Amino acid sequence: MSGIYNQYKAQGLEVLLAAINQDPQVPQFIRTFNLPFAVGTTDEVRARNFLQISAVTRAFVPWLVIIDRKGMIREQQYGDSPFFQNQQQNIRSMVEKLLSERAPGTGKKK
């Protein structure tokens, strides 16, 4: 994600990672992967509520969620999805599509 973030951040891309595992080692994770974006923690119940994922839905980690400029969830993928077989290209395609959309209330691309 760092490469995608660095490529598109000037166009408005924001990235946030949230660890939902118990006792996440966030500072170590950030150092290990040299992440240039925010990493935080939450619990699975809060994450499921925010993402509107039912407790009975089998959603393997990682969970990838792409939210547009209006705050709407536009894409959700879970760790067992075929999406992850070509994740870099799939993420780039979705990011490019969303960044090309008009920003809310401006009538033009942001």
DSSP state of 11: G
Range of the domain at 74: 2-100
107 in a structural domain: no
Confidence of residue 86 (pLDDT cuts 50, 70, 90): very high
Residue 24 counted as domain residue? yes
Q: Do the Cβ atoms of 40 and 62 come closer than 8 Å?
A: no
Reply yes or no: is the peptide bond before residue 82 cis, omega within 30 of 0: no
**Per the domain annotation, does 105 fall within a domain?**
no
Going by C-alpha positions, the residue among 60, 17, 75, 66 that lies closest to residue 42 is 17
Domain count within the chain: 1
pLDDT of residue 105: 67
Q: Is residue 22 part of a domain?
A: yes
pLDDT tens readout for residues 7-40: 999 998 998 888 888 888 999 999 999 999 899 9
Q: CATH code at 22?
A: 3.40.30.10
Domain-embedded: residue 53: yes
